[in-house]
Amino acid sequence: MNLVRKSICDGVNFSNIKDNRFKTGRVSITVFVPLDKDKVAQNAILPFLLSKTCEKYPDLKNLNDRLENLYGVSVGAEVSKLGEVQVLSISATFLEDEYSLQKENIAQGAVDLLCQMFFYPVLEGMAFLGENVEQEKRQLIEMIESEYNDKRVFAKNKCEQWMCKDEKFGINRLGTVEQVKSLTGQEIFDAWLNMLSSAKIEITLLGKADSEKVYERFRDEFSKVKRTNVVACATKIIKRAGKISEYADVMNVSQSKLVMGFRTEVSADDELVNAMRVAVAIFGATPYSKLFLNVREKYSLCYYCSAKYDKNKGIMMVQSGVENENIDRAKEEILNQLEEVKRGNFTEEDMQAIKRSMTNSFRTVGDYLSSMENFYLSQIFDKNKVTTDELIEKIKKVTKSEVITAANMITLDTVYVLKGKARP
């Protein structure tokens, strides 16, 4: 993965990964802003609103005619969280020119569209067009509500929200239904202007397209924008859990969900970050981890039970789906298995197996455009940025005693249970 990064202007960078292996190319604009409870909703609506229309193609139908005529350019709009940073992105994935039926210029067409969307939205005076705003407000509200439909996602979000209720991390990345309802075209316009003038922005181009041309295009667009001081983003890490908090909701579901949130003391820039990655994987991230082998295979308590480490916030979440009457047993067994890792009850061979599995997944990153982009952007705030190969080397060097040290820094903070009651 050969990445070339250039500055466009203060706080705005352009990165190019030249790669000839793929049938498609990809261009994306990613915006990083602090997660702020009063601004979260007006920021969250931006990618969706911007990616649906623009001055040149003022309604959804015009824009989609154009996208489909360009061999189905796939436009993505996303809002995610990187620690306590709200990440807004719009992207276009397009067929490389050489595969078009009549050798058309798709790449530059897709770049042009993305620029049109980002820099030239449909406005009325100093506000986004009212009917477009109402349309996206409705859809954003439906998106927030549909997260309640998926009980796995719902239970995990609930646990995170309770665990981090006094931290920015506990803020829903999309805002609340009430916040979205009250948004106005002016507020969103202001959020857009703020983003253009002061947010940290990363533009990435992957594939065969002429990167000079694309770079020039973005530089030209940003030369029309007045940039001010770039807003700083930071994530607060709580090192250890205090008293264990327990929360539960009861619902008409067949299967109960158990989610456990842990503090790990270790985040992206810490020495032990890779030891923590290995520790969490030995504990519960693969089919030969302790959670799978014991909670699932040995005791048949569940279909899924796994642990996930978030290096940006320094937390670990364990998720499982179990019978009501087995909730306590599962919880006990999960903690039991964590103790096993803390005591060093795993063999050198267990650790090698986990390292091979991690090596495998980091190496596979290079075979997918979006994984390469993600891998790179997920480190954007890290002091020491690494390539996949460098990361693999670091993982290989992790010792058993480092894993034990890391595991012993993990403390249980919050337990959330979504309890099933028999459906009538």
Residues that bind another protein (CB under 8 A): 20-24, 59-61, 64-65, 67-74, 93-95, 98-99, 101, 135, 138-139, 142-143, 145-146, 148-152, 158, 249, 251-255, 286-288, 296-297, 300-304, 321-323, 353, 356-357, 359-361, 363-364, 366-369, 420
- What is the DSSP annotation of 158-200? HHHHHHTTTSGGGS-TT--HHHHHT--HHHHHHHHHHHHHHSE
Q: Could you tell me the smallest distance in angstroms from the CB atom of residue 112 to another protein? A: 17
CB of 69 to another protein, least distance (A): 5
- The least CB distance from residue 198 to another protein, in Å, is 29
Of 345 and 360, the one with the shorter C-beta distance to another protein is 360
- Kind plus residue range of the DSSP H or E element containing 15: strand 12-18
The type of residue at 145 is E
- Is the distance from CB of 181 to CB of 283 less than 8 angstroms? no
Per-residue DSSP letter, 94:
E
- Contact between 230 and 198 under an 8 Å Cβ cutoff? The reply is yes
Whole-number Å distance between alpha carbons of 79 and 30:
10
If one counts every other C-beta atom within 10 angstroms of the C-beta of residue 183, the result is 21
Q: C-beta of 56: minimal distance to another protein in Å?
A: 16
The whole-angstrom distance between residue 238's C-alpha and the CA centroid of its chain comes to 20
Q: How far is the CB of 82 from another protein (least distance, A)?
A: 22
Question: Quick one: 257 or 313, whose CB is closer to another protein?
Answer: 257
Residue 373, classed as helix, strand or coil, is helix
Minimum CB distance to another protein smaller for 148 or for 397: 148
Q: Give whichever of 60 and 193 is closer to another protein, judged by the CB atom.
A: 60
- In the complex, what is the shortest distance from the CB of residue 341 to another protein, in angstroms, rounded to a whole number? 16
Q: Find the Cα–Cα–Cα–Cα dihedral 422, 158, 173, 167, rounded to 10°.
A: 170
Query: Of 130 and 287, which CB lies nearer to another protein in the complex structure?
Result: 287
Q: How far is the CB of 213 from another protein (least distance, A)?
A: 21
Query: What strands lie across the sheet with 24-34, from one edge to the other?
Result: 3-9, 12-18, 200-207, 24-34, 85-95, 74-82
State which amino acid sits at residue 265.
E
Query: Minimal distance in Å, beta carbon 270 to another protein?
Result: 26
Query: Residue 419 and residue 254: Cα distance in Å, rounded?
Result: 9
In angstroms, give the least distance from the CB of 141 to another protein: 9
Cβ proximity to another protein: between 12 and 73 the closer is: 73
- Whole-angstrom distance, CA of residue 406 vs CA of residue 272: 7
Neighbours of 16 (CB within 10 A): 22
Can you give the C-alpha Rg of the chain in angstroms?
23
Q: How many beta carbons lie within 10 A of that of residue 365, not counting itself? A: 18
Which one, 86 or 132, has the nearer CB to another protein?
132
Residue number with CB closer to another protein (210 or 323): 323
Q: Which is nearer to another protein, 264 or 274 (CB)?
A: 274
